Amino acid sequence: MVDRARKPSALATTPGLPPQPQVAFSSDNSSVTATLPTGESVSVLLYGATVVSWKDKNGDEKLWLSEAAKLDGSKPVRGGIPLVFPVFGTAPDHAQTKSLPQHGFARSSRWEFLGKSTSESTPTPTTPAFAATATSAAGAVAAAAADMSVKLDFGLSSSSLSEDARQKWPYAFNAIYSVTLNTDSLTTNLVVTNDDERSWECQVLMHTYLRVDDITTTSITGLSSASYIDKTTSPISTNTQTSPVLTISSETDRVYTPAGDSPASVPITVLSNDKPKFTVLRDNLSNVVVWNPWIEKAKGMADFEPKEGYKNMLCVEPGAVGTWQVLEPGDALEGAQTIVLGGKTE
Ligand code: TA6
């Protein structure tokens, strides 16, 4: 090769970009998976924008997904994080939503993938983290990679609804659902806007199926003194959570309104053998549904497998379902949950 006389000097070497999160579609384009450089991953089915998997850096699954869950769009997913909008449960006495299927159409509609964004809080040269690890360019790259996060955005609007859903709920709306994966947490954020000339009202909820080691050694804190509706009694009853710790030993289906939930919401912690496993933080979602079908209800659900699976799941579902959220034309409703691994709540 001819050595040119005035070849420019090599650019000063600077630490390369830290390894970037990877985002990939499944081969059939039905789902998208994001993976952090440190190994954590999240998978979202476009059907329902349903999070169907969230794994930590060791590949340990944090969500429960039925082995019989339909992932082909034929019915809402049994497990993961189905989205509930515009109605929680069914509302036969509610004119606007009485014709809708249980939990509304969000979890059974095909959402559009809108894109991804990544962020990192690169440790500055003065921070101990940087100093401790950035003893080399590789160290600086590793330090930055350790702080990475990736956000996946999904969209649904009235124009992308099925004809059937549109006929049953003829209001103009737009919904943006963001799923953000951090090294130690997962955040799901929903924004719905009223694009109609009429006001309409809705309920929203994130129907999270957490994976637990053993429901009989699992407990929940953060609900002390909260009022709750118990849907397992007949008639449905309103009660107050007197014990600071909730344990599950039978079918449990409760809509809690945690006490003292303003301005910040009370963290809900799920413990395994008294060791914090998940902390659920809520933003603008004033209710928490706690559900475990237990033996008989698990047997009664064809897509709930294995039938013993009730021992390894607990639904902790942040939502705004106690009352109807009224959206005037142009109004927006935003709500989010952050599930932190372990007991950290910062
Ligand atoms: O969130 C609890 C609940 O409303 C239960 O009453 C039970 O119906 C559960 O949701 C599952 O509902 P699904 O429509 O997914 O079978």
Strand partners, 154: 113, 177
Rounded distance between C-alpha atoms, residue 44 and residue 65, angstroms: 13
Between the CA of 89 and the centroid of ligand 1 the distance, in Å, is: 7
Q: How far apart are CA 307 and CA 299, in angstroms?
A: 6
Q: Within 10 A of 62 (CB to CB), how many other CB atoms are there?
A: 18
Average pLDDT on 80-93 reads 98
Task: Decide if pLDDT at 263 tops 60.
Answer: no
Residue 24 lies in a domain: yes
Query: Quick check: 139 pLDDT over 60?
Result: yes
**Residue 142 has what pLDDT?**
64
Q: pLDDT confidence of 345, banded at 50, 70, 90?
A: low
- What confidence score (pLDDT) does residue 120 get? 73
Token pair of 280 as six digits = 């659920």
Least confident of 103-117, 194-208, 263-277: 263-277
pLDDT at 2: 47
Residue 212 has pLDDT above 50, yes or no: yes
Our answer on whether the CB atom of 231 is closer than 6 Å to any ligand 1 atom is yes
Nearest protein Cα to ligand 1, atom 8: 89
Q: Is residue 263 part of a domain?
A: yes
Q: Beta strands 173-181 and 185-194: pairing type?
A: antiparallel
Tell me the torsion sign for CA atoms 233, 237, 238, 242: negative
Is the pLDDT reported for residue 187 higher than 50?
Answer: yes
Domain CATH number, residue 303: 2.70.98.10
Sheet holding 50-55, edge to edge: 22-25, 31-35, 41-45, 50-55
226 in a structural domain: yes
- Among the residue ranges 24-28, 230-234, 243-247, 262-266, the one predicted with the least confidence is 262-266
CA distances (Å), origin 60, targets 169, 330, 341: 39, 42, 12
Inter-CA distances, 298 with 14, 84, 158, 250, 270, Å: 57, 20, 34, 11, 21
**Residue 60 is encoded by which pair of tokens?**
């340990």
Residue 193 structural domain: 20-341
Query: pLDDT-based confidence at 343, cuts 50/70/90?
Result: confident
d(CA 175, CA 231): 29
Read off the tokens for 177.
């659902």
- By the 8 A CB rule, do 274 and 217 touch? no
Given a cut of 70, whether residue 138 has pLDDT beyond it is no
The residue whose C-alpha atom lies closest to atom 14 belonging to ligand 1 is 102
Alpha-carbon distance 218 to 294, whole Å? 14
Contact 55, 61 (CB under 8 A): yes
Model confidence over 93-102: pLDDT tens digits?
Answer: 999 999 999 9
Q: What is the mean pLDDT of residues 44-65?
A: 98
| Sign (positive or negative) of CA dihedral 210, 215, 218, 223 | positive
Which residue, 209, 190, 198, is CA-closest to 82? 209
pLDDT at 79 > cutoff 80: yes
Active site residue 317: yes
Cα-to-centroid distance, 293 and ligand 1 (Å): 9
Number of the ligand 1 atom closest to the C-alpha atom of 82? 15
207 is catalytic: yes
What's the rounded Cα separation, in Å, for the pair 80 and 76?
Answer: 11
Q: Please determine, for residue 346, whether its predicted confidence score (pLDDT) is greater than 60.
A: no
- Judge whether 14 lies within some domain: no
Question: Whole-angstrom Cα distance, residue 231 to residue 287?
Answer: 14
Pairing between β-strand 275-283 and β-strand 332-341 as defined by DSSP bridges: antiparallel
324, 202 contact by CB (below 8 A)? yes
Q: In this structure, is residue 183 part of a structural domain? A: yes
> Total structural domains in the chain?
1
Q: Is the pLDDT of residue 123 over 50?
A: no
Single out the residue of 183, 186, 150 nearest to residue 38, CA to CA.
183
Look at phi and psi of residue 126 and say left if phi exceeds 0, alpha if psi is from -120 to 50, else beta: alpha
| Residue labelled with tokens 């003893």 | 135
Active-site residue, selected from the candidate residues 67, 317, 328, 346: 317
Residue 283, CA distances (Å) to 136, 265, 288, 333, 336 in order: 40, 7, 12, 11, 5
Query: What is the reported pLDDT for 17?
Result: 77
Residue 140: pLDDT band with limits 50, 70, 90: low
- Residue 77 CA to ligand 1 centre (angstroms): 11
Distance in angstroms (rounded) separating the CA atoms of residues 316 and 314: 6
- Confidence band for 16, pLDDT divided at 50, 70 and 90: confident
Could you tell me which residues are beta bridge partners of residue 293? none
Q: Which of 40, 103, 201, 207 is catalytic?
A: 207
Average pLDDT over residues 125-131: 51
- The whole-model pTM stands at 0.90
Does residue 15 belong to any structural domain of this protein? no
Whether the pLDDT of residue 124 is over 60: the answer is: no
- C-alpha of residue 71 to centroid of ligand 1, in Å: 18
Residue 28 included in any domain: yes
Please choose from 66, 103, 208 the residue to mutate so as to test ligand 1's pocket, defined by most ligand atoms within 8 A of CB. 103
Indicate if the pLDDT at residue 8 is higher than 70. no
Q: Residue 11: inside a domain, yes or no?
A: no
Q: How confident is the model over 11-39, as a mean pLDDT?
A: 87
Annotated ligand binding at 6? The verdict is no
Is the distance from the beta carbon of residue 253 to the nearest atom of ligand 1 less than 6 Å? yes
Q: What is the mean pLDDT of the chain?
A: 91
* pLDDT of res. 104: 98
φ, ψ at 345 (rounded to 5°): -125, 15
The pLDDT score that the predictor gives to residue 301 is 98
CA distance 287 to 323: 10
The pLDDT value given to residue 48:
98
12 pLDDT exceeds 80? no
In this predicted model, what pLDDT tens digit does every residue of 27-48 receive, in sequence order? Answer: 999 999 999 999 999 999 999 9
What is the rounded average pLDDT of the residues 79-100?
A: 98
